[in-house]
Structures are given as structure tokens and as C-alpha cells.
Structure 1
Amino acid sequence: MRPTVVKLGGSLIEHGALAQLLAIAERHSAVVAPGGGRFADAVREAQARLGFSDAAAHRMAILAMEQVSHLLLDRAPGFSACASRADFEASSGRPALWLPRRMASSAPLPASWDVTSDSLALWLAGALGARKLVLVKAAEAPATSVPAEWARAGLVDGHFPRLAEAFAGEIVCVGRASPEALAEAISAPFGVAA
């Protein structure tokens, strides 16, 4: 069974719709990939002040995502915590939440701010053979379905379009953290835009 990966942006941890978004992902047995939110912002700020390398910042931002995963697991204990491919295989068909530290740290991706949690979620979707990646954003959804245009508009990181070209599944972007749009995007058959 090919899963659907739902990437919840880190800013959504303070959004009023978070509980609904998690409930929808859980009901549809989705795999949730977290953003880094305020924790990743703290890494950016510390790098600007302290001057450590992008490679170190990349690893620290992955740890920020892991922190958000633990926060989400606390809010939605019905998800299986998955840190490895074996964990995902064991939870097949059930809702899962990605603990990214182990897998993302060894992903063959550039260690820079050109790769954020959006690209890492897309990499995970490819690694799991997902049928669909749904990006849930607090911002307005893009008018286009072209990832390169999303990157130009600053909605996703600069590396995302390259990964999107190689992804065999579908990529959908839901704006305004809309629970209704997320439910529709997950349920829609392959090739039918939400």
C-alpha cells in the first residue's frame, strides 16, 4: 500500500486548526512529516550570531524537526513514531509520524538552507514510494501546481523542484491550513487536483 505523506509546516504548531489537521491525517492513515517551526528559526538566528557552518545548521534544523515531531506525538498519540524504514514497514496502513533525525541526516541532499523540511518531506515521500505528498501551509495556496514557481514565490525551498522532477507520485499544496482542503487533497484520486 502506497502511503500519503502530509507535511505540516512548523508554523502550524501554533495554529488553531492543528488538532483538526492531525485528526484528518490520522483518519486517513497518513504519514505526517513535520516542519521545524520556531525551533528551526532559532537555528537560523543562532547561525547568524555565532557563524557556524551550513552543514552544522542543517543537522541542527533536522533536530528542530524532531522536536516538533515529539510535540505532535504528544498532541496526537494515535500515531506510530517512525524513525526508520523498518518502523514505517511495521506501521504500514496505520497513521505514522516521522522522527526525521536518523533518516534525514543520512539523506543524499545538500546540507544547506536550500534544503528545508519541505524537501526532506518530499525525499521521505520518494523513499517510502508514497502515492502523494500534501504540503499544508499557513499561507495562501499557490495558483499554480508547478513546484519551480512555488520555489520562486518562496513557498518551498530552492532544492524542492529538483526532487519534484524525480518523484513518481503527486504533489499537492493546501493553503491557509484548511482542514477541509487537506481532507479533499488526501481523498482525491491520483491526478485530480484538490
Structure 2
Amino acid sequence: MWVVKLGGSLSHDPALREWLTRLWEVGGGRVVIVPGGGDFADAVRQYQREWRFDDLAAHNMCLLAMAQYAILMQGVVPELVLASNEERIRRALRDGRVAVWVPTDLMRTTPDAMTNWDVTSDSLAAWLSSSLNAERLMIVKSCTLPSDCSLEGLASLGIVDARFSAYVRDANYIVEVFSKDDVSGYAGSVA
């Protein structure tokens, strides 16, 4: 099983449809898509600055932001299956479908290591990959990626979140970061 995190920054980019279509075409029974937060999460940042609520509330709101992006993805490619937990993800995969994770089960009532801005959908994708015992985690970003840059370097550039490299440090799966323009190379490797 492969987990593919599609960055929220793709939400206004034609590449989103291409990625979703390719994943649906070649990933049935093998791929779980993790949505970023995109504009929906940016709105949470804005509200938090305005109203000064804590990171716990922001975390829960960002999970809802990811859920909105997941619903958008299914709106673009209706054959995708929304799945909020491991059981539903595995059911979709057993049925030969591509699942899109709706992470609302990670909403919290008390703060923990996930409830801060150092942990975004990148780290949540890593957490899910570990939970599902995935073979591979692919992070897709809208920006051009620097060549030969470590995960720590990508974090220092703000391309992946600050905690991502810690989440994947001892991973038993392959971790790759792609640019949105890499869709054709990726699709061939899933098939």
C-alpha cells in the first residue's frame, strides 16, 4: 500500500485533476490519498491570529480543513472513496478502490504532540503511513524541489513541516517528495 499526500497548494492547480485521475487509474486497491489543508487551513491561521484561540482548537479546525479538501478531491474524481479511519480505508482498498483519508478521527479534546503548527498534513501522512504499515509515502508539493536536499533541508526551507523528518526517521517505508510536475513518472511506478 502507498500513501500519497497531495499538498493543499494544488487546490487551484490543474495538476490536481491530473494527479487524482492518475491515482484513480493505476492505484485501485493500493493507494490512500492524504489531503493537505490548503486555503482551508490558511483560513484557520487567519482566524487564530484574529481571535487568539489555542493550538488545540486550530488543530481540530485544520483536520476539518483537510476533510474539506478530501471532499473537494472526491468532487473532482467521484470514484474516490472517502474514508475516516483504518477500517474504512482497508475496506476501500479491498474493494479495489482508491481511498481519500478524512482525518476527523484525530480530533482531540486535550493537547498532545500533534496539536501544534509544527505538525501539518505532511506529518499526519507519515503518522498514517506508520499506522497502516504502508510500503511507501509520497509527498506531492506544488513547488519546484531543490535537487539533493535532505528532509531536514526541505523542512528548513518550509517545503515539508518542521516535524516531518522526525515522524519518518525510523520509518519502515520508503519516503519520497515529488513536485506536482512529476505526475507522469509517478503513475508508471505505481502500475
For the residues of structure 1 that align with 2:32 and 2:11, how far apart are their CA atoms? 17
Which segments of 5 or more consecutive residues in structure 2 lack a partner in the other structure?
A: none
For the residues of structure 2 that align with 1:139 and 1:35, how far apart are their CA atoms? 14
> Which residue in 1 is equivalent to 2:157?
153
TM-score normalised by L of structure 2: 0.89
How do 1:17-96 and structure 2 match up within 5 A? 17-27=15-25, 28-29=27-28, 30-92=31-93, 93-96=96-99
Which segments of 5 or more consecutive residues in structure 1 lack a partner in the other structure?
A: 188-194
What's the C-alpha RMSD, in Å, of the aligned pairs? 1.8
Residues 22 and 187 of structure 2 are in contact (CA less than 8 Å); yes or no, is this contact kept in structure 1?
Answer: yes
For the residues of structure 2 that align with 1:177 and 1:122, how far apart are their CA atoms? 22
Instruction: Tell me the amino acid that sits aligned with residue 120 of structure 2.
Output: T
Instruction: Tell me the amino acid that sits aligned with residue 24 of structure 1.
Output: R
By how many angstroms is 1:184 displaced?
4.5
By how many angstroms is 1:149 displaced?
1.6
For the residues of structure 2 that align with 1:180 and 1:142, how far apart are their CA atoms? 19
Describe the SS at the equivalent of 2:11.
Answer: helix
Change (3 A) 1:62 1:177: farther
For the residues of structure 1 that align with 2:175 and 2:148, how far apart are their CA atoms? 12
Q: For residues 32-90 of structure 1, give each alpha carbon's deviation from its aligned partner in whole angstroms, at most 9, with x where no partner exists.
A: 10001100000001111110001111111111000101111111111121111110121
Q: Verify: 1:101 aligned to 2:104, yes or no.
A: yes
For the residues of structure 1 that align with 2:181 and 2:16, how far apart are their CA atoms? 8
> Which residue in 2 is equivalent to 1:138?
142
Describe the SS at the equivalent of 1:112.
Answer: coil
By how many angstroms is 1:185 displaced?
5.2
TM-score normalised by L of structure 1: 0.88
For the residues of structure 1 that align with 2:92 and 2:48, how far apart are their CA atoms? 37
Describe the SS at the equivalent of 1:97.
Answer: strand
Change (3 A) 1:167 1:70: same
Instruction: Tell me the amino acid that sits aligned with residue 24 of structure 2.
Output: E
Which runs of 4 or more aligned residues in structure 1 lie more than 3 Å from their structure 2 counterparts after TM superposition? 184-187
Residues 15 and 180 of structure 2 are in contact (CA less than 8 Å); yes or no, is this contact kept in structure 1?
Answer: no
For the residues of structure 2 that align with 1:118 and 1:171, how far apart are their CA atoms? 11
Describe the SS at the equivalent of 1:91.
Answer: helix
For the residues of structure 1 that align with 2:154 and 2:22, how far apart are their CA atoms? 25
For the residues of structure 1 that align with 2:54 and 2:33, how far apart are their CA atoms? 29
Describe the SS at the equivalent of 1:81.
Answer: strand
Describe the SS at the equivalent of 2:177.
Answer: strand
